[in-house]
Amino acid sequence: MDEITPTQITQWLKEIGKDRAWLAQQTQQSMSTVNGWLAKNRPRKINAHAQRAIRDLMDRPVTLEPKLSMSLWGRAQADADAEGISIDEWMERAVKAALKISMLTVAACTLFHMAQGQDAVTAAMMGLVDTVTLAGNAALLLGSIGVEIVGTLLS
């Protein structure tokens, strides 16, 4: 398995909203050790034990605690039961589907704007604007449980 780089660790910490102190606590290392690993100039080597601990942290699934109304929770549970899956698996599928749709929509809108002769940066920005507009319209038109729950989970 490839070694995790300081850049990867720094980016991951930023993505999950954690800091070096949290990483030190989780890996049972001192702050000076973690600072040494993540130093911009000549970082210290991360030993194999710490590499495994960090990889385990990076691969650990995140637990969501949605704040849903009882009626919305009941509707989601009924859909999950109908599909023969757990509510957690149903919500995970809903979030993944929403993210895939969002990514595909941004890509399609960007390609559309590039085909209209816009430069890549402008096309990407317009693609994002179009995606937000489409998502808002979909939520208004559909009003489906999936849209409600994904919106609640991601807010």
pLDDT in tens, 68-80: 778 878 888 888 8
**pLDDT at residue 32 in the model:** 95
Q: Supply 16's token pair.
A: 């999950």
141 pLDDT more than 60: no
Compute the average pLDDT of residues 32-60. 91
Q: Supply 116's token pair.
A: 């209209």
- Name the pLDDT band for 142 (thresholds 50, 70, 90): very low
Averaged pLDDT of the chain: 80
DSSP of 19-65, one letter per residue? -HHHHHHHHT--HHHHHHHT-SSSPPPPPHHHHHHHHHHHHSPPPP-
Model pTM above 0.75: no
